[in-house]
């Protein structure tokens, strides 16, 4: 059955964004520090699902079957499995003291004259290893505040360096939920997406290090006691296996076993029973994003079947004024990802919401899956890192007692990444030779 493109089919998605964004604004205005996390996304999407089912039913479609097929899509189910494994690995690694070990070892090698760049690099490495900007911010900000107090450096500048490093690592990490969501929705390999991202993130990070080095002076750093350096090894193994192209399920499964084993051998008061409990706690920490992924899969299938995605693709084609080609597609995906993150204040949610539309855009404009995944993740990262009502800045602001608005202007990396990425996309590209007739 052929369904015409329809703007009405997009109203369920708009309803979800309005409920999620509206509730966030309301609770923030009421003084709630984490206002955008009072109405959970899996709950906010339920009215949208009901509306989508009704609209599909009106068009004579088998709405129930479409919903279930969307939720049970192999890519969605695989993504949920990866989320669970990533959550378990991150939680077990934190529980055995691996994060603290990385922090202590990292601080021990930071030169006194390079504290700000050192904190940026340290946060980047930790986020790259654990795949969580929130976990990195929670681990490093207390140390960064001590550095700021001891050195007299501006607190917002110090905290902004940590947030920037956390966003750099989260954006590139092979176990980050944003990386997983971006690659699965675009049909790309994690290794290929990592390499594509690095083309933009590496120049931006180097520029950030230079800016931070010029922004602060030297500062004394006291190094506390560290746990066994062997606890860091599971992170290195996971990163090496992932970059070598090993299946992410094998990578994360190996990481969980290694982290648990090293914890039992080297960490104090850690055994099999705590290990099993931490695996489950890691699963529990991913329940929200797992549920949202399933429901987003169903909503996306209903929206596509009802003609909503076709209508949106037509409008985006009009937005680029009929131009076709990779550049038009890349900017369209960038705009889509940025707007979605502004409305949802969650980069993973933004990628999940815009993923299917971005994939259609990429196919029509000749954008490779790895490039599309990279654009989705980069621009969601840029927006998320500077949103005053985003979880990262809200968490850092609450830990540091600094205004979120002040912090938003101090996350140099995200602003520089935006300039670098746009500049590279606009840079003239050589024409490919046409294949012989």
pLDDT digits (tens, 9 = 90+) for 342-393: 766 778 878 887 888 888 888 888 899 999 999 999 999 999 999 887 778 8
At 434, is the pLDDT very low, low, confident or very high (cuts 50, 70, 90)? very low
Greater model confidence, 79 or 187? 187
pLDDT digits (tens, 9 = 90+) for 176-192: 888 988 998 899 998 89
The residue-averaged pLDDT of 77-95 equals 83
Greater model confidence, 25 or 48? 48
Residue 217 has pLDDT above 60, yes or no: no
Residue 240 has pLDDT above 50, yes or no: yes
Which stretch of 187-201, 220-234, 340-354, 413-427 has the lowest confidence by average pLDDT? 220-234
Mean pLDDT of the chain: 83
**pLDDT score for 427:** 85
Q: What's the 3-state SS for the chain?
A: CCCCCCCHHHHHHHHHHHHHHHHHHHHHHCCCCCHHHCCCHHHHCHHHHHHHHHHHHHCCCCHHHHHHHHHCCHHHHHHHHHHHHHHHHHHHHHHCCHHHHHHHHHHHCCCHHHHHHHHHHHHHHHHHHHCCHHHHHHHHHHHHHHHHHHHCCCHHHHHHHHHHHHHHHHHHCCCCHHHHHHHHHHCCCHHHHHHHHHHHHHHHHHHHHHHHHHHCCCCCCCCCCCCCHHHHHHHHHHHHHHHCCCCHHHHHHHHHHHHHHHHHHHCCCCCHHHHHHHHHHHHHHCHHHHHHHHHHHHHHHHHHHCCHHHHHHHHHHHHCCCCCCHHHHHHHHHHHHHHHHHHHCCHHHHHHHHHHHHHHHHHHHCCCHHHHHHHHHHHHHHHHHHCCCCHHHHHHHHHHCCCHHHHHCCCHHHHHHHHHHHHHHHCCCCCCCCCCC
Residue 429 has pLDDT above 70, yes or no: no
Q: What is the pTM of this model?
A: 0.71
**pLDDT score for 166:** 92
**pLDDT score for 318:** 65
The residue-averaged pLDDT of 76-84 equals 81
**pLDDT score for 430:** 56
**pLDDT score for 220:** 52
**pLDDT score for 193:** 92
**pLDDT score for 258:** 92
At 49, is the pLDDT very low, low, confident or very high (cuts 50, 70, 90)? very high
Residue 437 has pLDDT above 50, yes or no: no
**pLDDT score for 84:** 86
**pLDDT score for 300:** 81
Which stretch of 31-35, 81-85, 267-271, 332-336 has the lowest confidence by average pLDDT? 31-35
Residue 21 has pLDDT above 50, yes or no: yes
Residue 226 has pLDDT above 80, yes or no: no
**pLDDT score for 143:** 73
Residue 404 has pLDDT above 90, yes or no: no
**Which segment, 84-98, 339-353, 388-402, is predicted with the most confidence on average?**
84-98
The residue-averaged pLDDT of 261-289 equals 89
pLDDT digits (tens, 9 = 90+) for 291-344: 888 888 888 889 888 888 777 767 766 666 556 788 888 998 998 888 888 766
Residue 398 has pLDDT above 80, yes or no: no
Residue 242 has pLDDT above 60, yes or no: yes
């Amino acid at each position: 059955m052929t369904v015409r493109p329809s703007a009405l089919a997009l109203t369920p998605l708009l309803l979800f964004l309005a409920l999620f964004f509206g509730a966030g604004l309301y609770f923030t205005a009421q003084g709630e520090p984490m206002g955008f996390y009072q109405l959970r996304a899996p709950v906010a999407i339920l009215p949208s699902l009901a509306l989508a089912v009704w609209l599909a039913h009106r068009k004579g479609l088998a709405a129930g079957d479409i919903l279930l097929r969307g939720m049970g899509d192999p890519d969605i189910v695989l993504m949920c499995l990866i989320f669970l494994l990533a959550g378990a690995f991150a939680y077990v690694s934190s529980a055995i003291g691996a994060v603290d070990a990385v922090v202590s070892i990292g601080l021990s090698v930071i030169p006194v004259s390079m504290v700000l760049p050192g904190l940026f690099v340290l946060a980047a490495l930790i986020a790259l290893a654990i795949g969580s900007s929130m976990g990195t911010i929670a681990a490093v900000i207390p140390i960064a505040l001590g550095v700021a107090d001891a050195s007299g450096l501006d607190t917002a500048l110090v905290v902004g360096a940590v947030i920037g490093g956390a966003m750099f690592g989260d954006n590139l990490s092979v176990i980050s939920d944003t990386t997983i969501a971006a690659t699965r929705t675009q049909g790309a390999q994690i290794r290929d997406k990592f390499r594509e991202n690095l083309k933009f993130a590496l120049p931006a990070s180097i520029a950030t290090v230079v800016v931070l080095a010029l922004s602060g002076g030297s500062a004394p750093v006291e190094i506390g006691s560290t746990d066994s350096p062997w606890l860091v090894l599971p992170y290195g193994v996971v990163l090496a296996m992932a970059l070598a192209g090993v299946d992410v399920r094998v990578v994360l499964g190996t990481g969980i076993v290694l982290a648990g084993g090293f914890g039992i051998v080297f960490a104090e008061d850690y055994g099999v029973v705590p290990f099993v409990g931490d695996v489950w706690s890691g699963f529990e920490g991913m329940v929200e994003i797992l549920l949202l992924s399933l429901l987003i899969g169903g909503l996306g299938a209903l929206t596509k079947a009802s003609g909503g995605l076709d209508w949106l693709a037509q409008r985006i084609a009009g937005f680029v004024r009929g131009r076709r080609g990779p550049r038009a597609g890349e900017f369209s995906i960038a705009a889509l990802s940025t707007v979605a993150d502004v409305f949802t204040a969650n980069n993973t949610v933004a990628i999940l919401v815009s993923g299917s539309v971005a994939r259609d855009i990429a196919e029509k404009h000749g954008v490779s899956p790895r490039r599309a995944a990279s654009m989705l993740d980069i621009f969601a990262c840029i927006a998320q890192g500077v949103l005053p009502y985003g979880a990262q800045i809200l968490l850092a602001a609450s830990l540091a007692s600094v205004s979120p608005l002040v912090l938003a202007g101090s996350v140099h990396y995200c602003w520089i990444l935006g300039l670098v990425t746009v500049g590279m996309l606009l840079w003239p590209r050589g024409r490919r030779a046409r294949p012989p007739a």
